[in-house]
Chain A
């Protein structure tokens, strides 16, 4: 009963490095999304997907890319990390609009 699995849980990057945050869900959910959580700002939507092959931008998409080749996976790519991307990142999935979003345990990313 894994739910939403994010890897890694912690990561330190140097400015300019690239990396991919992995997200997988085993609930056959159509909807998947990525958020970043910063102190005093709650969670902000980065990108989301309504199904395989379909993605769209959220509130803060700059500096991030996503793709959705399968229903299960929704990776988030940082092409050239910047200190402003230091944050906690959450992946979420849900079966339909307006229903409960299940969250992964988060990835704490530090860019130095």
Chain B
């Protein structure tokens, strides 16, 4: 079974600075999908960014970008120009077929 590990339970960053959240996963598959989801205090799960494993180019969505290292099975999220509204839990997720596995999450606090 696939496993997803987020080794940073909590992180903090100053407003306007850059922060990187780590994620590693374990799989023997070659084709799969990776995601970062944000969960603010409202509890709503919000897709931040998505990466297809067969694409070598790292995905980017405005201030959010990933560093996808397939051989190392690493999928880190970089948030640039951090904003107070980025304060949330962030979950890394792996999907193969219909099976989606989540990491335990990283609680990010953006400080003014």
Contact = CB atoms under 8 A, between A and B. Distances in A.
Interface of A: 31, 33, 35, 40-45, 48, 50, 56, 58-59, 88, 90, 92, 97-101, 103, 105-106
A98 B102 contact: no
Nearest to B53: A98
Interface in B82-108: 91, 93, 95, 97-105
Contacts, number: 54
A58 B32 CA distance: 17
Interface residues of B, number: 25
Contacts of A44: 102
Interface stretch (B13-21, B40-48, B71-79): B40-48
A50 B98 CA distance: 8
B66 interface: no
Contacts of B1: 59
Give me the 9 closest cross-chain CB pairs, A-B, nearest first. A42-B102, A103-B45, A98-B33, A43-B102, A42-B104, A100-B47, A106-B43, A48-B98, A42-B103
Contact of A98 (B44, B52, B91, B103): B52
Interface in B1-57: 1, 4, 6, 9, 32-33, 42-45, 47, 50, 52
Given A90-B45, A103-B44, A45 B99 contact: yes
30 contacts: A33-B100, A35-B102, A40-B9, A42-B4, A42-B6, A42-B104, A42-B105, A43-B45, A43-B93, A43-B102, A45-B101, A48-B98, A48-B99, A56-B98, A58-B99, A59-B99, A59-B101, A88-B43, A97-B95, A97-B97, A97-B98, A98-B32, A98-B33, A100-B47, A101-B45, A101-B47, A103-B45, A105-B42, A105-B44, A106-B43
